[in-house]
Structures are given as structure tokens and as C-alpha cells.
Amino acid sequence: MRRSPLASLPSSLTLGVFGVLGVIGVIGLSGCPSGSSSAPTVPRPAMNQLPDGPPLITPGESMTYRVQLKGFELAQYQISVGVEAAEVGGKPAIVVQSHAKSVGLANFAVKVDDYFSSWIDVSTGRSLRWLADEYAKNGTDKERTEALLHQRAGDTFPMSFRLNDDAPTPEVQKASLADVWDYNAFLIAMRAWEGSPGSKIAVEVLRSRYLWHIDMTIKAKEKLVTELGELPTLRFDATTYKLDRSGARLPDTDRIFSIWISDDGDRVPLQIISTSDYGDVKMQITDYQPGNGRRFRQ
């Protein structure tokens, strides 16, 4: 009988694996270090930027993924686009929510049943508000993180953190780039980014409670076999590191990951792979529903 790798792994690894589910979580923000880290520095300016304009999403659109380690299913991850109009700070918005839930044997190691909600400006595609509701590492306590990106003043914006029913603790995050994204908004913006191999961008993305700097490069066009068939894709490779509240780089937080997005009119994120000390953590699409409304970006 094939033995689950989870049975022989320390709980710290399992928690690290599920860090992949948080935003980028899913995009690899909790993989293994990509190399030795340097002393804390302020991130360099972006060489380019993600596209301006309405987000490339359709009301009612949804994507479902399977998260695996060494062939064993750990979790299901779903991204859903709302169908009702919203507003943040007087700006029209659409709500996009992602949900990570542990399944099978993974539930014996750590409980994951986390929601990440984004309010995205329908005119610019930029993040306006970010809300993360997730279990703490002990699998019992509930944490809530809120970021009010629409209230950014200069290079800072307000955040808050709450544990269970405690009063929220206010925090201030410093940013170094013109735009700050949350994970959902970032992945959606990636759908609209096109360029030749070697094209680069640098972005800052909220993953759960913390801000991460990401340097991303368009790698190549590739074919990818999924449960939806063999599909043409555009592959993106990235390195990332965590930032403290002052915007400085934290040591020993370097990570690497890759994203595959369908190279067609739908531009659907199909696969994300994050490297870890125990093997690749892979999130691959299992279902796609195109929605039933009018796409915001034409």
C-alpha cells in the first residue's frame, strides 16, 4: 500500500505547504528558499507594470484547482467572481473570493478552510480592499486581516489584524511601488499581461497578512496537459521575498514559483508550481466555468 508522504513529514512542513494556499500562498509564497538571502533592502523599482484598465473577469466566472504534493491531494482551491456590484470609497468594484480547503489525509495534519476576498476597481483592475479569514497554525484560532488599499496615503496604507473575537489591532504597511495588489487581483491582472519571452515586471502583493515583493518574467509558450485537455499556455517564472511593515526585505524568505496561463481568448490560470524541500507543490485546474455576464475587459 502506498504510504502518504504526509505521514513522515513534520507539522512545520505541512504548514509550509498550506502557505502555498494563501495568495500566492498558492503562487508559492511559502516554498523553499531559492538561494542565500542578502541583508534587508528596499525593493527596486518595477521594470514594467501590469496592464491598466478593467479586470479580465466575467461575473459568475469560477475556477477550481487541486493542490498536490508528490501525487497526494492536499486541498481544493476555488476562485469565484461575484455577480453583484459593490463599492469601496466611492469607487465601483467587483468582489472576487478565493477559498482554500484541506481534504483527505491532509485534514489529519492541519485544518485549512480559509477565505480571501478582494474588492477590485472595475475601471483600473487595482485592489481597493483585501480581507483574509483563515485558521491560525494551530488549526483552531481564527485570524482576520484587512487591508484598506483605497486609503493609501503616499507610500503607506492601513491594515488591521484580529484573532478570534479580540478587538482589531491597527497596523500600517509601507509600500515601495506605485501599485499594491492583493493575491486575487494580482492573478487576475496576470491574465491580461502579454509580452515576448524575457519581459519582466516587479510587483508587491498582499498574501494573507503580509506584503511580498515579486519579480516575474515571461518564460515561454508551452503546451500543458490538464483535466480540461492539452492547452496552449504562456509560462511565467518568478522569485519572491517577504517584506516587513517598513517595506524592507526580510532575510531567509526567498521563494520561487511558476504560473501557466492559457494562451487563448479566455486567459485562464491553469497551473501554479511552488518548489519545496519535499518536492513540488502543484496546483492544477480541474474545472472552469466562464460566467454568465459581460466581461469587464474587452
Residue 184 binned pLDDT confidence (cut-offs 50, 70, 90): very high
* Model confidence at 165: pLDDT above 60: yes
Quick: pLDDT tens for 95-152: 999 999 999 878 777 778 999 999 999 999 999 999 999 988 777 899 999 999 999 9
Average pLDDT over residues 183-204: 95
Distances (CA, A) of 159 to 55, 124, 128, 154, 239: 24, 22, 12, 15, 25
End-to-end CA distance of the chain, in Å? 52
pLDDT attached to residue 9: 37
**Helix, strand, or coil here: 104?**
coil
Binned at pLDDT 50, 70 and 90, residue 44 comes out as: very low
Task: Please state the domain extents for the chain.
Answer: 38-289
Burial class (CB in 10 A: 0-12, 13-18, 19+), 201: buried
166's CB contacts (< 8 A; 6+ apart) are none
Report the share of the chain in percent with pLDDT over 90.
72
Q: How far is CA 222 from CA 197, 219, 247, in A?
A: 12, 9, 35
33 Cα distance to chain centroid? 18
Residue 71 pLDDT grade (very low, low, confident, very high; cuts 50, 70, 90): confident
Residue in 52, 129, 135 with CA at minimum distance from that of residue 89: 129
The whole-number pLDDT of residue 30 equals 43
24 has pLDDT over 60: no
Q: What is the DSSP letter of 23?
A: B
Considering the chain, what is the average pLDDT of its residues? 86
| C-alpha to C-alpha distance for 155 and 228, rounded to whole angstroms | 42
Instruction: Say which amino acid occupies 23.
Output: V
Give the residue-averaged pLDDT of 164-190. Answer: 97
The b/e string for 123-155 (b: 16+ C-beta within 10 A; e otherwise) is: ebbbbbbbbbbbbeeebeeebbbbbbbbebeee
pLDDT of residue 32: 44
pLDDT band of 217, cuts 50, 70, 90 = very high
Question: Over 60: is that where the pLDDT of 155 sits?
Answer: yes
Q: Which of 155, 259, 252 lies closest to 201, judged by CA? A: 259
pLDDT bracket for residue 36 (50, 70, 90): very low
Look at the domain 38-289 and name its fold. YmcC-like fold (2.40.360)
Closest CA to 164 of 193, 203, 135: 135
- Is residue 281 within 8 A of residue 20, CB to CB? The reply is yes
- Label the pairing between strands 62-69 and 156-163: unpaired
Q: Which of 275 and 187 is assigned the larger pLDDT?
A: 187
Q: So what's the pLDDT on residue 166?
A: 96
Residue type, 39: A
Total residue count of the chain as it appears in this document: 298
**Residue predicted with more confidence, 105 or 55:** 55
Give me the pLDDT at residue 262, please. 98
